């Protein structure tokens, strides 16, 4: 606790600096404040109040722009896995269940936002990246380890912020169609119009695949090769539709209102472990997110910029395994998550600092309807209330930026009383916790081309409903669970150099060391009856190095590479796990991509490697090292963009999850037409 | 004749005889006890505490007192596994949706001999194999929990086509969820006794149906009509206990024991524990059942749910008392009277596994208890209920079986009663008596490795149980049988504790001794004649 107290005092000291700047500002206000404010205003179209100012943040981050994945048949997991420090695990082909890990964290420890709306559910299990459509994404921001205060919620691994398409000036229309291996088909359309003060945007897309790729089924008998056979993957098909509608109105240059609605629907088959032909298990998801957001800039005498939003989201997941092909026994359950949220962001820009304040309140209800039992309701709810304060202090003409911040969160969980399927009254259970999470970051531009960054932060991950209250009798609840606590540290530097050489146009390089100490790690263990129970019986220490390089050379070529080495060490109380590598995390991952652009052609080839991953906590089941080669060619012909890509040219079959193969070689073709 | 000469001659003769006996004495004194050629090795199925993987361990059964040698984490796999053993082979069973059995030789415990699927062609639902019971090295019964048909298999096959050789149809015992949930079984007196749990999987696995034991003739593989009335109109034996999981046959008193745990409580469904379990005994001849140990009722249940069982003798057994998650205690009890003894001090409030599927002692009379709290096997001396040694298994132990080397046809798995000498056990009162052990070792070493010996043993096992039963009830006859067995025990001991070399020396020394004696006697006669 002592280091954290010291850190807290340090942060409070910096926070108290702002009254000094306030006085300084007050004394200058009468003369030059308006000019200062104008200087500090950010471009409206590309940047909105509430967005993270990536130029100022000391956090290590990546931004993946739309152009990186346009014209490709990819899902979000395939886009993310190519970034340094990020590992994605997929349970099959395109659209299958997939989770993300940042710097060796678990998927539960990564927060995913969609336009500022939290996608993580209190029920737990991380966010399924397969349920996020890529077609209406403008950019993806990834903050590793340290999360800017713009996000009301943070966790030990970091944040993935998905920004959907934003209205642009004029009329923009495009449509695209794609087809590829395993009967994969894609269709999307987009229209955006901003004639004057008002604008609208509609994006609709469909993506589907049979995912009937061939793989070698060993029939569950690893050492009996005689019964192995090449089979098509059964019951892995999916169809998903997505509709994004946005409407905005600029009352003035400083006041804008946005209405956003995103509807998503996905019908998905779940293959059984033995690839049974008659498996009919399905998992269908319907989700709707509605948001109203009011942005008001330059408010009051201090010229605050504010944004306030109200959101409502509803998600229904229908898991149908009535013949017991996949799970333990017959099951047909509908899981409904309903969420109401209020988010208010305020920032005050001065010549010396940017003070940001966030208030985030959320009410989430989770209901499980077991259709095979007459009545067994077990509604849960979570109320969370977060306050965040961050002061971005600017020194020496923004060459030195120090960003202390504080988040305070209150969480109230309740498992409502009910009557079980056996007619037994079930008592309510409640739990209240509050957390204080400080953080501080430093960004130092030593030279124009050399920047040093370092961050220190404390985060928590509160237990999920599943871990607290149990499930279906196979897991006992444990209401005494404490939150996971993590202390994150990172330090590194970035080089960005524009060259005047003919053979080398630009070079950017970054390297960062990261370390995370996680206490009270929540892990499951089973008793002799086979009933699981979650408990705080583990700790973890994760440290590693991530690097990235981007070279533009010989006018037409670009090389992108990144590498991550990490040591995610389990420090569990259980002897068989202690000192072992945390399961599901690769120790090494590399990416190398060479691109060539000539005129309207762009060609690239990339090599992706992930090594040294274990499926299990005792490190007895080692996953096959993954090596994939992908290639693609894009051709812009008038208003048409043609794309052809080949994935996994080596035709190797890997399993991110033990027993769940992913596709081999595949080909896809897309055409996009823009008006 | 000169007396001195006579005495000298007689003295020489005596000296010679004494020398001869001294030679014998040296031979015998030089003879140290030779351990039986039969050695046992324990095979332990293990699983990670979070069920993310499983494996098996092999541990030497000797020496008593330790330290035993363990090899852990062999051939990692899924966690839902079990093991069975027969002779020098053990079988690793991978259960729910893995559906396979792999065979290993104890001398190469990390190299499977074969691995075969337990699914029929076209079967889409997991067979979930739970147990493997051996009738012989060429015939065993595989209990496929998720189906209505048990398989008859040939463990000695070298091809997958030769693995399944028949079926036992248990469809008549299926309840509303379509399966009878065959859990485990035991062979006694030419009959296979199979536990059918009959829980309602469509109703939160509630034990609402009557559990049964079905009986099959192992010669014809046809079901035997036990003639016991029951509401379901089936041929088997209805049980008064719910959720039966362990079954064991004790040859000593010709009794089958079945343990059931009733129903565990669940905070999820809000159900309290149901104390409808306990331990029942079954007469394998009359099929009569008796509740030996009752777990109590809602208001009085001093031992919680009875979650496991091990029967060592007619007067000594153990049961697992389950209180809460990871909280079980091992008790002693009498399988004859049902009286509960004491707790085992080192096995209180631990996660105890393995005994829910039947367990048995090793050749030294030690009970191997799976202690999941400490990830170790606690080897319990059943004579004084102290822990002989605790062996760390890295992962949590699930179940223990034993392989035997030196007698390839001997079986030491939990369902085989070949290890017992019925008449001797009845006469001496306990399987663990030293004299009974000598007879057992003699059988293993000199009878089971040749055809006449095996024929003799088979006939003995077929006809001796009722004789042993009679003996055990009459103390006078017991004493008479003990006296009659004494010379046999003596010869057996000599043969077991003299090596082949020493026998050769003995045999070679006999003509030498005869020659010496003849020479000495002739010398004496000559002197006398002079």
Q: CB neighbours (10 Å) of residue A356?
A: 24
* B512 and B491 share one domain: no
Range of the domain at B520: 3-31+500-529
Q: CB under 8 Å to B370, separation ≥6 — which residues?
A: A528, B44, B352, B353, B354, B355, B377, B396, B397, B398, B399, B400
Average pLDDT over residues B357-367: 86
What is the DSSP track for A249-312? Answer: EESSSSEEEEEEEEEEEEEEE---TT--TT---EEEEEEEEEEEEEEEEEETTTTEEEEEEEEE
Nearest CA in chain B to A272: B97
Res. A37: pLDDT tops 50: no
Q: CB neighbours (10 Å) of residue B300?
A: 9
Q: Looking at residue B523, what is its pLDDT?
A: 79
Contacting A residues, span 559-588, partner chain B, CB-CB under 8 Å: 574-577, 583
* B511 and B487 share one domain: no
A67 touches chain B (CB under 8 A): no
Q: Looking at residue B438, what is its pLDDT?
A: 72
Binary contact (B204, A325; C-beta < 8 A): no
Contacts of A620 in chain B (CB under 8 A): 48, 53, 55, 73, 76
Q: Which of B116, B351, B394 sits opposite A221 (nearest CB)?
A: B116
Under the phi-then-psi rule, with left for phi > 0, alpha for psi from -120 to 50, and beta for the rest, what region is B428?
alpha
> A530 pLDDT band (50/70/90 cuts)?
confident
A482 DSSP 8-state letter: P
Res. B453: pLDDT tops 60: yes
Binary contact (B124, A279; C-beta < 8 A): yes
Binary contact (A620, B264; C-beta < 8 A): no
Residue B411 located in a structural domain: no
Contacting B residues, span 340-359, partner chain A, CB-CB under 8 Å: 351-354, 356
Contacting A residues, span 590-619, partner chain B, CB-CB under 8 Å: 615-618
Tokens standing for residue A658: 């033990």
Report the C-alpha gap between A145 and A157 in whole angstroms.
Answer: 5
Residue B482 located in a structural domain: yes
Which run of H or of E encompasses A71?
none
Which one, of B380, B423, B377, B382, lies nearest residue B400 by Cα?
Answer: B377
* B298 and B442 share one domain: no
Q: CB under 8 Å to A319, separation ≥6 — which residues?
A: A281, A282, A283, A331, A332, A333, A334, A335
Q: Where are the beta strands (DSSP E) in B349-408?
A: 352-353, 366-371, 376-381, 386-392, 396-405
Assigned CATH for A2-674: 2.40.170.20
- CATH label of the domain that carries residue B150: 2.130.10.10
Rg of the Cα atoms in chain B: 27
Nearest CA in chain B to A374: B203
Average pLDDT over residues B194-210: 89
Q: Looking at residue B421, what is its pLDDT?
A: 54
Strand partners, A673: A175, A640
A109-150 confidence digits (pLDDT tens):
999 999 888 999 888 878 888 888 888 899 999 999 889 999
Binary contact (A221, B115; C-beta < 8 A): yes
Q: Looking at residue A29, what is its pLDDT?
A: 32
Residue B55 located in a structural domain: no
- Model ipTM value: 0.87
Distance from CA of A168 to the nearest CA of B (A): 50
The structure's pTM equals 0.82
Q: Looking at residue B19, what is its pLDDT?
A: 56
Q: Which of B124, B205, B395 sits opposite A325 (nearest CB)?
A: B124
B161 touches chain A (CB under 8 A): no
Q: CB under 8 Å to A419, separation ≥6 — which residues?
A: A375, A377, A425, A426
* B295 and B245 share one domain: yes
Contacts of B354 in chain A (CB under 8 A): 528
Tokens standing for residue A98: 């997939």
* B433 and B484 share one domain: yes
Report the C-alpha gap between B246 and B243 in whole angstroms.
Answer: 10
Average pLDDT over residues A163-178: 89
Nearest CA in chain B to A224: B115
Q: Looking at residue A473, what is its pLDDT?
A: 67
Binary contact (A576, B48; C-beta < 8 A): yes
Tokens standing for residue A564: 């991550």
Report the C-alpha gap between B336 and B473 in whole angstroms.
Answer: 13
* B103 and B88 share one domain: yes
* B332 and B474 share one domain: no
Distance from CA of A603 to the nearest CA of B (A): 42
Binary contact (A618, B53; C-beta < 8 A): yes
Average pLDDT over residues A502-525: 90
Tokens standing for residue A561: 């590479």
Please name the residue ranges forming H helices in B392-450: 422-428, 434-442
Report the C-alpha gap between B72 and B57 in whole angstroms.
Answer: 4
A150-160 confidence digits (pLDDT tens):
988 888 899 99
B48-85 confidence digits (pLDDT tens):
999 999 999 999 999 999 899 999 999 999 999 999 99
* B376 and B432 share one domain: no
Report the C-alpha gap between B245 and B190 in whole angstroms.
Answer: 22
A300-337 confidence digits (pLDDT tens):
888 899 999 999 999 999 999 988 888 777 789 899 99
User: Is residue B28 a contact partner of residue B39, using CB atoms and an 8 Å limit?
Assistant: no
Kindly report each contact of residues B371-374 with a partner whose C-beta sits within 8 Å and lies 24 or more positions away, as own/partner: B371/B347, B371/B397, B372/A527, B372/A528, B372/B49, B372/B326, B372/B396, B372/B397, B373/B326, B374/B350
Q: Where are the domains of chain A?
A: 2-674
Res. B422: pLDDT tops 80: no
User: Is residue A151 a contact partner of residue A125, using CB atoms and an 8 Å limit?
Assistant: no
Tokens standing for residue A334: 């509908």
Q: Which of A226, A473, A533 sits opposite B325 (nearest CB)?
A: A533
Res. A45: pLDDT tops 90: no
* B341 and B323 share one domain: yes
B117 touches chain A (CB under 8 A): yes
Q: Looking at residue B247, what is its pLDDT?
A: 96
Distance from CA of B160 to the nearest CA of A (A): 9
Q: Note the Cα A587 to chain centre separation in Å.
A: 20
Contacts of B50 in chain A (CB under 8 A): 523-526, 532, 577, 617
A549-580 confidence digits (pLDDT tens):
999 988 889 999 999 999 999 999 899 999 99
Res. B346: pLDDT tops 50: yes
Average pLDDT over residues B11-25: 55
Average pLDDT over residues B351-363: 84
Report the C-alpha gap between B530 and B528 in whole angstroms.
Answer: 5
- A29-33, A340-344, B289-293: which has the minimum mean pLDDT? A29-33
Res. A85: pLDDT tops 70: yes
* B270 and B169 share one domain: yes
Average pLDDT over residues B518-523: 77
**Pick among A271, A326, A527 to test the B interface (most B CBs inside 10 A):** A527
> B400 pLDDT band (50/70/90 cuts)?
very high
Contacting A residues, span 515-554, partner chain B, CB-CB under 8 Å: 523-529, 531-533
What is the total residue count of chain A? Answer: 675
A596-608 confidence digits (pLDDT tens):
998 899 999 999 9
Q: CB under 8 Å to A340, separation ≥6 — which residues?
A: A310, A311, A312, A362, A363, A364
Binary contact (B264, A226; C-beta < 8 A): no
Contacts of A532 in chain B (CB under 8 A): 50-51
Which one, of A95, A89, A112, lies nearest residue A182 by Cα?
Answer: A95
Which one, of B310, B311, B303, B238, lies nearest residue B275 by Cα?
Answer: B303
First to last CA, chain B: 7
Q: Which of A273, A476, A525 sits opposite B50 (nearest CB)?
A: A525
Q: Which of B51, B202, B266 sits opposite A330 (nearest CB)?
A: B202
A365-377 confidence digits (pLDDT tens):
998 888 887 545 6
Tokens standing for residue A667: 């080909």
Rounded alpha-carbon distances, angstroms, from residue B125 to A222, B16, B144? 19, 82, 11
B160 touches chain A (CB under 8 A): yes
Average pLDDT over residues A439-445: 95
Res. A361: pLDDT tops 70: yes
> B441 pLDDT band (50/70/90 cuts)?
low
- A647-656, B124-133, B370-379, B424-433: which has the minimum mean pLDDT? B424-433
Q: Looking at residue B239, what is its pLDDT?
A: 97
Tell me which of B405, B433, B467 is where a domain ends. Answer: B405
- Opening angle at CA A113, ends A40 and A252, nearest 5: 40
- A2-11, A65-74, B137-146, B352-361: which has the minimum mean pLDDT? A2-11
Residue B397 located in a structural domain: yes
The total domain count for chain B is 3
Average pLDDT over residues A252-256: 92
- A62-76, A239-253, B241-255: which has the minimum mean pLDDT? A62-76
Tokens standing for residue B241: 């206990």
Distance from CA of A315 to the nearest CA of B (A): 24
Q: CB neighbours (10 Å) of residue B324?
A: 13
Res. A57: pLDDT tops 60: yes
Q: Is residue B521 helix, strand or coil?
A: helix
Q: Looking at residue B143, what is its pLDDT?
A: 97
Contacts of A584 in chain B (CB under 8 A): none
Binary contact (B114, A227; C-beta < 8 A): no
Which run of H or of E encompasses B272?
none
User: Is residue B376 a contact partner of residue B392, using CB atoms and an 8 Å limit?
Assistant: yes
**Pick among A222, A576, A658 to test the B interface (most B CBs inside 10 A):** A576
Residue B260 located in a structural domain: yes
A423 touches chain B (CB under 8 A): no
Q: What percent of chain B has pLDDT over 70?
A: 78
Average pLDDT value over all residues in chain B:
84
Contacts of B207 in chain A (CB under 8 A): none
Report the C-alpha gap between B81 and B84 in whole angstroms.
Answer: 11
Residue B62 located in a structural domain: no
A422 touches chain B (CB under 8 A): yes
Residue with tokens 């080089």: A495
> B419 pLDDT band (50/70/90 cuts)?
very low
Contacting B residues, span 475-514, partner chain A, CB-CB under 8 Å: none
Q: CB under 8 Å to B354, separation ≥6 — which residues?
A: A528, B308, B368, B369, B370, B397, B398, B399, B400
Report the C-alpha gap between B311 and B383 in whole angstroms.
Answer: 13
Taking CB atoms and an 8 Å cut-off, how many pairs form between chains A and B? Answer: 158
Residue B178 located in a structural domain: yes
Contacting B residues, span 278-337, partner chain A, CB-CB under 8 Å: 307, 322, 325-326, 328
Report the C-alpha gap between B401 and B45 in whole angstroms.
Answer: 9
> A46 pLDDT band (50/70/90 cuts)?
low
Tokens standing for residue A603: 């060609």
B97 touches chain A (CB under 8 A): yes
Average pLDDT over residues B11-30: 52
Tell me which of B347, B379, B405 is where a domain ends. Answer: B405
B84 touches chain A (CB under 8 A): no
Which run of H or of E encompasses B454?
helix B451-472
Q: CB neighbours (10 Å) of residue B292?
A: 24
* B389 and B454 share one domain: no
Nearest CA in chain B to A620: B76
B115 touches chain A (CB under 8 A): yes
CA atoms within 13 A on the CB side of A353: 23
B270 touches chain A (CB under 8 A): yes
Res. B105: pLDDT tops 70: yes
User: Is residue A454 a contact partner of residue A493, using CB atoms and an 8 Å limit?
Assistant: no
């Amino acid at each position: 606790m002592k280091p954290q107290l010291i850190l807290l005092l340090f942060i409070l000291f910096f926070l108290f600096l702002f009254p000094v700047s306030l006085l300084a500002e007050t004394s200058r206000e009468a003369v030059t404040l308006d000019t200062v404010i104008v200087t500090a205003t950010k471009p409206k179209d590309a940047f909105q109040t509430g967005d993270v100012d990536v130029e100022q943040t000391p956090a290590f981050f990546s931004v993946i722009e739309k152009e990186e994945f346009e014209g490709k048949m990819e899902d979000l997991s395939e886009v993310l896995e190519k970034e340094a420090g990020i590992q994605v695990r997929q349970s099959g082909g395109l659209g299958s269940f997939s989770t993300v890990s940042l710097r060796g964290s678990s998927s539960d420890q990564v927060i995913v936002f969609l336009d500022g709306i939290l996608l993580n559910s209190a029920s737990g299990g991380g966010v399924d990246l397969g349920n996020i459509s890529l077609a209406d994404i403008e950019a993806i921001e990834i903050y590793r380890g340290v999360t800017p205060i713009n996000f009301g919620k943070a966790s030990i691994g970091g944040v993935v912020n998905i920004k959907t398409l934003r209205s642009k000036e004029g009329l923009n229309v495009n449509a695209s169609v794609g087809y590829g291996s395993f009967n994969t088909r894609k269709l999307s359309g987009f229209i955006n119009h901003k004639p004057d003060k008002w604008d609208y945007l509609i994006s609709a897309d469909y993506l589907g695949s049979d995912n009937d790729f061939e793989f070698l089924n060993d029939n569950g008998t690893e050492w009996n090769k005689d019964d192995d056979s090449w089979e098509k993957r059964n019951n892995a098909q999916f169809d998903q539709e997505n509709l994004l509608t946005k409407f905005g109105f600029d009352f003035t240059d400083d006041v804008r209102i946005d209405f956003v609605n995103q509807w998503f629907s996905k019908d998905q088959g779940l293959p059984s472990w033995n690839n049974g032909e008659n498996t009919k298990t399905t998992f269908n998801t319907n989700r709707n997110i509605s948001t109203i957001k009011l942005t008001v800039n330059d408010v009051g005498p201090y010229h605050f910029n504010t944004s306030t939003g109200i959101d409502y989201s509803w998600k229904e997941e229908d898991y149908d395994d009535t013949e017991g092909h996949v799970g333990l026994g017959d099951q047909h359950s509908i899981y409904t998550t309903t969420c109401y949220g209020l988010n208010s962001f305020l920032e005050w820009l001065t010549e010396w600092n940017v003070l940001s304040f966030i208030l985030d309140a959320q009410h989430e209800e989770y209901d499980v309807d077991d259709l095979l039992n007459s009545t067994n309701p077990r509604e849960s709810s979570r109320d969370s209330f977060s306050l965040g304060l961050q002061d971005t202090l600017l020194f020496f003409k923004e060459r030195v930026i120090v960003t202390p911040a504080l988040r305070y969160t209150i969480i109230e969980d309740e498992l409502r009383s009910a009557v079980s399927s056996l007619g037994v009254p079930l008592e309510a259970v409640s739990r209240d916790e509050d957390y204080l999470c400080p953080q501080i970051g430093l960004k130092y531009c030593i030279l124009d081309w050399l920047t040093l960054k370092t961050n220190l932060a404390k985060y928590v991950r509160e237990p999920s409903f599943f871990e607290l209250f149990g499930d279906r009798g196979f897991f006992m609840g444990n209401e005494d669970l404490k939150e996971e606590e993590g202390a994150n540290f990172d330090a590194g530097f970035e080089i960005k150099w524009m060259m005047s050489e003919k053979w080398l146009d630009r070079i950017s390089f970054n390297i960062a060391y990261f370390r995370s100490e996680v206490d009270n790690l929540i892990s499951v263990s089973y008793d002799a009856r086979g009933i699981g129970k979650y408990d705080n019986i583990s700790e973890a220490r994760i440290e590693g190095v991530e690097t990235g390089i981007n070279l533009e050379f010989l006018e037409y070529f670009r090389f992108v590479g990144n590498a991550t080495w990490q040591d995610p060490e389990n420090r569990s109380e259980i002897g068989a796990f202690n000192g072992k590598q945390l399961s599901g995390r690769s120790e090494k991952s590399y990416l190398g991509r060479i691109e060539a652009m000539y005129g309207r052609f762009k060609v690239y080839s990339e090599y992706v490697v992930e090594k040294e991953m274990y499926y299990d906590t005792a490190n007895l089941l080692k996953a096959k090292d993954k090596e994939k080669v992908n290639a693609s060619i894009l051709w812009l012909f008038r208003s048409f963009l043609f794309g052809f890509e080949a994935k996994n040219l080596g035709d190797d079959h890997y399993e991110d999850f033990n027993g769940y193969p992913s596709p081999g070689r595949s080909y896809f073709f897309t055409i996009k037409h823009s008006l | 004749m000169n007396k001195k000469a006579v005495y000298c001659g007689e003295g020489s003769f005596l000296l010679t005889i004494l020398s001869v006996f001294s030679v014998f004495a040296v031979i015998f004194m030089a003879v140290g006890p030779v351990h039986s050629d039969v050695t046992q090795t324990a095979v332990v199925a293990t699983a990670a505490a979070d069920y993310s993987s499983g494996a098996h361990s092999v541990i030497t059964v000797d020496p008593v007192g330790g330290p035993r040698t363990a090899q852990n984490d062999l051939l990692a796999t899924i966690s839902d596994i079990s093991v069975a053993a027969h002779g020098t082979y053990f079988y690793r069973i991978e259960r729910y949706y893995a559906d396979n059995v792999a065979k290993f030789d104890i001398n190469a415990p990390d190299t499977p001999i074969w691995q075969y699927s337990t699914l029929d062609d076209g079967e889409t639902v997991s067979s979930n194999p739970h147990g493997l019971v051996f009738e012989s090295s060429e015939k065993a019964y595989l209990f496929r929990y998720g189906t209505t048909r048990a398989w008859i298999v040939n463990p000695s096959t070298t091809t997958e086509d030769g693995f399944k050789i028949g079926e036992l149809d248990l469809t008549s015992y299926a309840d509303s969820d379509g399966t009878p949930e065959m859990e485990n079984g035991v062979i006694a007196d030419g009959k296979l006794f199979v536990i059918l749990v009959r829980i309602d999987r469509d109703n939160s696995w509630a034990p609402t149906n009557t559990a049964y034991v079905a009986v099959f003739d192992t010669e014809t593989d046809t079901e035997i009509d036990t003639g016991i009335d029951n509401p379901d109109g089936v041929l088997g034996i209805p049980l008064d206990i719910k959720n039966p999981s362990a079954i064991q046959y004790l040859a000593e008193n010709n009794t089958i024991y079945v343990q059931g745990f009733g129903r565990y409580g669940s905070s999820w469904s809000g159900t309290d524990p149901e104390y409808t379990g306990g331990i029942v005994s079954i007469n394998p001849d009359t099929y009569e059942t008796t509740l030996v140990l009752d777990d109590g009722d809602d208001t009085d249940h001093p031992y919680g749910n009875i979650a496991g069982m091990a029967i060592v003798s007619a007067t000594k057994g153990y049961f697992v008392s389950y209180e809460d998650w990871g909280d079980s205690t091992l008790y002693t009890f009498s399988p004859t009277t049902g009286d509960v003894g004491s707790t085992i001090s080192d096995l209180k409030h631990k996660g105890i596994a393995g005994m829910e599927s039947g367990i048995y002692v090793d050749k030294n009379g030690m009970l191997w208890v799976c202690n999941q709290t400490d990830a170790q096997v606690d080897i319990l001396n059943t004579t004084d209920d102290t822990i002989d040694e605790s062996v760390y298994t890295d992962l949590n132990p699930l179940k223990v079986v034993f392989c035997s080397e030196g007698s390839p046809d001997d079986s030491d798995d939990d369902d085989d009663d070949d290890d017992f000498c019925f008449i001797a056990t009845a006469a001496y009162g306990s399987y663990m008596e030293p004299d009974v052990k000598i007879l057992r070792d003699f059988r293993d070493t000199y009878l089971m490795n040749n055809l006449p010996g095996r024929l003799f043993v088979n006939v003995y096992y077929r006809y001796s149980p009722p004789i042993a039963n009679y003996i055990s009830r009459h103390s006078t006859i017991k004493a008479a049988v003990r006296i009659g067995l004494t010379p046999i025990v003596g010869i057996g001991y000599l043969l077991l504790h003299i090596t082949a070399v020493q026998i050769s020396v003995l045999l070679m020394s006999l003509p030498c001794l005869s020659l010496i004696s003849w020479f000495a006697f002739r010398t004496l006669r000559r002197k006398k004649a002079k």
